[in-house]
Chain A
Amino acid sequence: MSPTISCTSVYKIFGDNAQKLLSENKGKVDAAKFQEAGCIVGVNDASFDVNKGEMLVVMGLSGSGKSTLLRCISRLTEATAGKILVDGEDICLMNNKQLIDLRREKMGMVFQNFALLPHKTVLENIAFPLQVKGVTTDNSIQKALEMVELVGLKGRENYFPRELSGGQQQRVGIARSLAVEPDIWFLDEPFSALDPLIRKEMQDEFLRLQSVLNKTIMFVTHDFDEALRLADRIAIMKDGIIEQLDKPDNIVLNPATDYVKRFTEDVPREKVLKIESIMDGVDPNASSDFAISKNEIIETVAEKILNSKEIIKVTDENSNIVGSINPSKVIKVLFGG
């Protein structure tokens, strides 16, 4: 099956003669050199795929080009060069009408500062994408009411954005982006403007929604912990370049560059790694009392393993025994050394 989003050598360079400069250098972009020529490099040679139903988290500090990359794929900004395929169609070649249709049918986006329309109520904000599409008022309001229920804002339908807390406003933003039932969901630092406690709550809520909806997601964040919590795969960006793109546990275990390593150093391994990454081969001496799945995060099963004091069987999705785990390994992960 072909990926839902597929990027090949995407560049975004800000500046008047970016195009010329890029072709002169044949795609070899040196940020410092370009800056001298009056250009700023946003995205530098990004190539990756996002599969259907997968959540790719793009993580990077401010100025790393993560938001720019997202905007290239939603075509809020035009990529300077490269190919961006959405369901096999190159969106860079689309005309304005096709683009509007694409956004009306397939895409939804959530913004960092919520970006709600101040003159519309919760209900109207959520119904807005439907109404610009031409859905009748009755139907769009009906759909918006469903979305209000989905994001848990029942009873606040007629509030104006200014009357809501940050968390509530972002729920409206989420509901609005989902109203047209898009296949692809873009989230641009959706929880960064929220307090830590609310952020945690919203992340849980988000995971719940995703387990029901199963969208193809690109999620941008500057928070490495958030990336680890949510992602199927993480792309770490620096100065417009994707430094590493991999599953969370692989990134923690095998950071590709020194830059990535600095993020992973302080990460509590037990919270990221799965049993799979520390298990040994099948051991006939393993206790037969119980088994644990190789997909469990170490932290969640650590207590159970340490209490048993024996070597424990590890199974896969189909309950076949695929390996064993020694409690000493878990102690090593938990306490280092």
Chain B
Amino acid sequence: MDKNYLDTVRNSKPTQFGILLVLFFALYHLVPHNDGNYFWRLPSLLKGIPLAINNVIFSALYDWFPLKVWDPIFEMYEEKAAFREFTKAVSQGLLFLITFVRELLLGGDKIIDVFVSDAWLKENDWLSWPALPWTAGAVGAFILGYQLNGFRLGLLGGIGAVYIAIFGNWVPSIQTLSFVLITTPICFVLGLSFGIWGYLDKKVETALQPVLNVMQTMPQFAYLVPIIALFGLGDHAGSIATIIIATPPMIRNTILGLKRISPEVVEAGLMSGCTKSQLLFKVLIPTARRDILNGVNTVIMQCLAMVVIASFVGAKGLGLNLKIALNSLKIGKAAEAGLCIVIIAVILDRFTKAWANKPVDYFENLTLFQRHRSLVIFATAILVFSIIAFIANGYFDKINYLYIIPIEKGLTIAHYIDAGVDWVWDTFFYTLNTFNKFLLTQVLGPMKKAYLGMPVISTFTLAMGVAYIVGGLRTGLIVGGMLLFIALSEYWDRALITMYMATFAVLMASLNGIIVGSIFSQTERGSRFILSVCDFFETFPSFVYLIPVIFLFNITDTSVLIAAIIYATVPATRYTVWGLKSVPLSLHEAGTMSGVSRMQRWTNIEIPIAFPTIMLGVNQTVVFSLQMVILGALIGTEDLGQIIFGALSRTKDGAGVALTLGVFVSLIAISVDVIVRKWAEDRKKALGLL
């Protein structure tokens, strides 16, 4: 054989991967498993990091930059740390806003209390803002929906509200809604500002990218402990956690939208003589309107996905009810609360989408009344229904069903659901249990053991090797560096468990997604249908997926994994459909004229062209799986998530532990992302798709 041929073989990727695998398994079997051996496990040199983070947080809170603050009760100046005063002010401001909206809708006297003295308020017990009757709320939702996109959207809003009310979930739903109504605008303003800043200044964008990557891949739990340390417990803490989670996508959407504006439009603005601010507010933002409003939609969805997690730091509403029901294993109640969250999510999703796509008519010649007609009808309807509710007070003797239906008096199907679950349990117990046992002992158990038996040197060889082959030396070093950070901590074994669960979920979800996506995208109608199914599933907050599986498979790795697989199948399917749809028509025609069968078309034309896009979907699958695996700690697993979750009750170094482990999880996700993205880009370039 000649030398050139050997060189080609040596440089071919399959050969390189083959050599890498051989090396990996050789190391796996040759490295002895004992504690002193650094090839087996690295020493936990970075053990001190969580405590160090904690010390920084607490010294910032209590010692750093003391200010003299006037204490009105003791009538003297007191030394207080500036940062502590700042976080206090933020907490109080947020809490005031949330309470304000909540009382506006649900009634109460806390806001009035802020403006008058306690004693005076007690003497005058008439002094309380009345709640909005649910009937008025439902009509309001109908009119709003009607105004945005016609009768059908109005009906969706109205019926949703009626359902929530008669099932007795009105109060917690409005509590959740008020939380969303305050948190969303804050995310919007923050996201828009940072997005604009990133757009205007390349350096800022470069600095933002890695921060956003980490923020979007950190498990939501990781933020909770630090937030409690900084801001205490309450609705405001939940709101802050949500702001941290929901702002990054808003920033990304804003930058994306602004970047998509054609440079000519910017130039046209400049040549029209715009000043910088005119250019920003009259040209750039309105032109990117649709992307920005889609960002708002994402923010709202994130807010609702966060309600259960926010309840861990004291947010009230549906999330808290769901958490309590889950803790006491009341599936019916949990399902009902979950359904309400889904209903609110769907309504807000459709409303904001309709708003984003609503064209603005500047030149309607309308009278003042016509212009504000719906506002007038809205106000009248609310007034009328409030009066009806007030009159009904005399009619009902104990509970005014036209005002607010308390949860005990609402309709409920909880016992039917419970009965259904019991029936499933009784009927399929044997089957489910066998399946569960089989999966645990035959698949998951061995897989977990294999992961835990992996010497650190072979893990690094594999990860860095793949990164090197795909993206070169730099990518290899980046991935290695990120993993090293985890390996030098005391949580490497936990991280391996997380990785094993994520790997399993990713494999299964990708497989499902590719199959489902391929089947449905055979026809135009099918792909439209499956994409809207994906849309629908994506409005489900992540923990909703946990409800059914716990009751089928108990608290085991199986439940968490099945939830993760279902959750992560959504992006895999979506990207598969996108990828397959992006195959050019001319290629299809060329295939048809070459006489390919359906299967040949799929394996020889569609999959190769769509594969880079599908891999980007797999990338998303990794993030989704990790999120759900960590969320699984909510019901008990033994990976990183469990410790992050457990940090909630660790006062000494909880914040540090949670943040450190959160970063670990995000490093795992980013490592995969670095490799996959690079591969997909190169592949797309090779195929001429970029």
Contacts and interface: CB of A to CB of B under 8 A. Distances in A.
- 5 closest A-B pairs (Cβ-Cβ)? A104-B273, A115-B264, A129-B272, A115-B268, A109-B271
Contacts of A158: 362-363
Contacts of B267: 71, 76, 109, 111, 115
Contacts of A101: 273
A121 B362 contact: yes
Contacts of B269: 117
Chain B interface size range: 20 to 34
Given A107-B271, A108-B271, A128-B272, A117 B287 contact: yes
A119 B286 contact: yes
A66 B286 CA distance: 31
Contacts of B283: 117
B278 interface: yes
A229 B52 CA distance: 76
A152 to B, nearest CB: 20
Given A117-B286, A132-B273, A160 B268 contact: no
Interface in B240-270: 262, 264-265, 267-270
B494 to A, nearest CB: 47
A113 interface: yes
Contact of B273 (A116, A121, A133, A186): A133
Contact of A119 (B270, B271, B278, B287): B287
A270 interface: no
Most buried by A among B267, B286, B287: B267
Contacts of B264: 111-115
Chain A interface size range: 35 or more
Contacts of A104: 272-273
A113 B262 contact: yes
Interface string A84-113: 000000000000000011011001110111
Contact of B282 (A71, A116, A132, A186): A132
Contacts of A112: 264
Nearest to A119: B286
Most buried by A among B271, B282, B283: B271
B274 interface: yes
A249 interface: no
A109 B289 CA distance: 25
B359 interface: yes
B265 A117 contact: yes
Contacts of B275: 100, 132
A64 interface: no
Interface in B626-668: none
Contacts of B270: 76, 103
B360 interface: yes
Contacts of B363: 121, 123, 157-158
A74 B271 contact: yes
Interface string B548-589: 000000000000000000000000000000000000000000
Interface in A67-85: 71, 74, 76
Most buried by B among A114, A128, A176: A128
28 contacts: A71-B267, A74-B271, A76-B270, A76-B271, A100-B274, A100-B275, A103-B270, A103-B271, A108-B271, A109-B267, A109-B271, A111-B264, A112-B264, A116-B265, A117-B265, A117-B283, A117-B286, A117-B287, A119-B287, A121-B363, A128-B272, A129-B272, A129-B273, A132-B274, A158-B362, A158-B363, A173-B268, A177-B271
Interface in A106-152: 107-109, 111-121, 123-124, 128-129, 132-133
Contacts of B282: 128, 132
B364 to A, nearest CB: 9
Nearest to A104: B273
A123 B363 CA distance: 10
Given A76-B267, A114-B264, 7 more contacts: A100-B275, A103-B271, A103-B273, A107-B271, A117-B268, A118-B287, A123-B363
Given A76-B271, A103-B271, A113-B262, A132 B278 contact: yes
A103 B272 contact: yes
Nearest to A97: B275
A84 to B, nearest CB: 16
Nearest to B279: A132
A237 B22 CA distance: 60
Interface of B: 262, 264-265, 267-275, 278, 282-283, 286-287, 289, 359-360, 362-363
Nearest to A112: B264
Contacts of B274: 100, 132
Nearest to A102: B273
Most buried by A among B268, B283, B360, B362: B268
B273 A115 contact: no
Contacts of B286: 117, 119-120
Interface in A232-249: none
A91 B268 CA distance: 18
A115 B262 contact: yes
A164 to B, nearest CB: 15
A247 to B, nearest CB: 29
A115 B265 contact: yes
A124 B272 contact: no
B289 A119 contact: yes
Contacts of A180: 273
Contact of B272 (A76, A119, A160, A176): A176
Contacts of B272: 103-104, 128-129, 132, 176
A74 B273 CA distance: 11
Given A104-B273, A117-B286, A133-B273, A111 B268 contact: yes
B292 to A, nearest CB: 12
Contacts of A117: 265, 268-269, 283, 286-287
A264 B431 CA distance: 85
A157 B273 CA distance: 23
B275 to A, nearest CB: 6
A111 B287 CA distance: 17
Contacts of A119: 286-287, 289, 360
A129 B274 CA distance: 8
A65 B264 CA distance: 16
A160 B273 contact: no
A174 to B, nearest CB: 12
A73 B363 CA distance: 37
Nearest to B278: A132
Contacts of A173: 268
Nearest to B282: A132
Contacts of A116: 265, 268
A173 B282 CA distance: 17
A115 B283 CA distance: 11
A251 to B, nearest CB: 29
Contacts of B362: 120-121, 124, 158
Nearest to A177: B271
A167 B262 CA distance: 19
Nearest to A124: B362
A207 B562 CA distance: 71
A194 to B, nearest CB: 15
Interface in A219-267: none
Contacts of B271: 74, 76, 103, 107-109, 177, 186
A129 B283 CA distance: 11
Contacts of A133: 273
Contacts of A176: 268, 272
Contacts of B265: 115-117
Contacts of A109: 267-268, 271
A71 B274 CA distance: 16
Most buried by B among A71, A119, A128: A119
Nearest to B285: A119
B567 to A, nearest CB: 36
A115 B263 CA distance: 8
A305 B632 CA distance: 94
A113 B270 CA distance: 16
Nearest to A179: B272
B74 to A, nearest CB: 54
A118 B275 CA distance: 20
